[in-house]
Amino acid sequence: MLSASAPTTGSESGLGLDRIIELLPEIGVAMGQTFVMLLVAIPLAILLGTPLGVWLYSASPVGLKPRPRAHRIVDSLVNTIRSFPFLILLIAIIPITRFIVGTTIGTAAVIVPLTINAIPYFARFVEQNLTQLGSGVVEAARAMGATRGQIVRDVLLVEARPALIGSITIMTVSFISYSAMAGLVGGGGIGDFAIRYGYYRYETVVMLAAIVLMIALVQVVQIGGTRLARVLDKR
């Protein structure tokens, strides 16, 4: 195994390129795990966070259908989940994780806390983006006899689309970083790879290689997200 054959460290052997080449398969696996985590957690967060965010917007005291008391409760629940440091959330919800995916270790087990963390995170983005649209288009839609569902689907979410793409981009970048803590429950991923080799084994060059990969990943996500938002934004 690789862990048994690591006598050289990057800082002592020049560039340590051969060490990186030696670890390439493992880096590939780690990148794959990161992709899986993001590709499951982010879409799930969008799928579940959007209705929650729309509800937060709609039920607020100035929303489409104010429900002040229910809003207060859900609002503080969202804040509560958002307050947990991710590492603690990861541990705290182990029973829930076991219930949902049947295991508490591995990549699948990390996806649960990532998603649970991401849902209220994205819901806040949705709420914020809808609030910032202003009352003009909502008023016009009401005057046209739109139902609340139509106002949300055909007006608010359409008008907020560029802002929502921006929010998804920010969320994805944040969760590339969060996913690094997956190692704690054996979830793997490129961030975990960097921690294991750089932090635990002082293989600085290997860590740097992993970090360069993460930088590249963040760049691709950010540039792609910005482009997409710009194309969709007709203002």
Partner 1 sequence: MISLRNVSTTFRGKDGDFTAVNDVSLEIPAGSIQGIIGFSGAGKSTLLRNINLLERPTRGQVVLDGVDLTALDDERLRRERHQIGMIFQHFNLLNNRTALQNVELSLKFAGIEKAERRRRAQEALEIVDLAEKSTSYPAQLSGGQKQRVAIARALVTHPKVLLCDEPTSAVDPRTTASVLQYIADINQSLGITTVVVTHELNVVKAIADNVAVMENGAVVERFDVADLAAGTFEPGTEIGRYLLDEEIHLDRTPLAGRRDPASGAPLRGRDGKELAHA
* Residue 142 makes contact with partner 1 by CB under 8 A: yes
* Residue 233 makes contact with partner 1 by CB under 8 A: yes
* Residue 108 makes contact with partner 1 by CB under 8 A: no
CB of 164 to partner 1, least distance (A): 11
Which listed residue (70, 140, 212, 223) binds partner 1 by CB under 8 A? 140
Stretch that binds partner 1, among 6-14, 31-39, 159-167, 207-215 (CB under 8 A): 159-167
- Count of residues near partner 1 by CB under 8 A: 22
CB 66 within 8 A of CB 139: no
Stretch that binds partner 1, among 37-45, 80-88, 109-117, 138-146 (CB under 8 A): 138-146
Q: Which of 203, 195, 227 is nearest to 34 (CA)?
A: 195
Which listed residue (111, 155, 164, 221) binds partner 1 by CB under 8 A? 155
Stretch that binds partner 1, among 88-96, 134-142, 181-189, 191-199 (CB under 8 A): 134-142
What does the H/E/C string look like for the chain? CHHHCCCCCHHHCCCCHHHHHHHHHHHHHHHHHHHHHHHHHHHHHHHHHHHHHHHHHHHCCCCCCCCHHHHHHHHHHHHHHHHCCHHHHHHHCHHHHHHHHCCCCCHHHHHHHHHHHHHHHHHHHHHHHHHCCCCHHHHHHHHCCCCHHHHHHHHHHHHCHHHHHHHHHHHHHHHHHHHHHHHHHCCCCHHHHHHHHHHHCCCHHHHHHHHHHHHHHHHHHHHHHHHHHHHHCCC
Residues present in the chain in total: 235
* Residue 162 makes contact with partner 1 by CB under 8 A: yes
CB of 136 to partner 1, least distance (A): 4
Which listed residue (47, 70, 87, 158) binds partner 1 by CB under 8 A? 158
* Residue 159 makes contact with partner 1 by CB under 8 A: yes
CB of 28 to partner 1, least distance (A): 40
* Residue 228 makes contact with partner 1 by CB under 8 A: no
Residues that bind partner 1 (CB under 8 A): 136-137, 139-147, 150, 154-155, 158-159, 161-162, 232-235
